[in-house]
Structure 1
Amino acid sequence: MARVLLFGRLADAAGWRERIIEAASLSALRAALGDLVEGPGIQAAVDKAIVRGDMALTAASEVAFLPPMSGG
């Protein structure tokens, strides 16, 4: 299980900001959430650190999905 947080347009699209979701790995979590967390610029942070690739999750894991950022 993991505590999943969505921000910005991802939360708007899902209709929720925080949920507990059963997943043993980041790739399994992405598969469970589908197109919502796929796409250019969407980043995942596990326990407040940006992650590239896959990693195992525990019941204490916090996973945040961040939409693409822009600014000047």
Structure 2
Amino acid sequence: MGLKILKSKRALLGLTQVQAAHKMGINIKSYNLKENGKRLFSLDEVVKVSKVLDLSLEEVNKVFLNLDIKS
């Protein structure tokens, strides 16, 4: 997974992991494990984190599906 995208988008928005986890409605430990690749995001969490971090469809594909979509 392109988890670096999550970290950089979160930092770009000025959010801490605690703030991102709170906005998603999950606990910080769970968010930390997922952002660091030790656990997987559920489909529901993918939707939530995409909204919280304002991820584009291309970024969602790179982070969670490891696809490179060309237009």
Q: Normalising by the residue count of structure 1, what TM-score does the alignment of the two structures yield? A: 0.31
- The structure richer in strand per residue is 1
Give the alignment's TM-score, normalised by structure 2. 0.31
Higher share in helix = 2
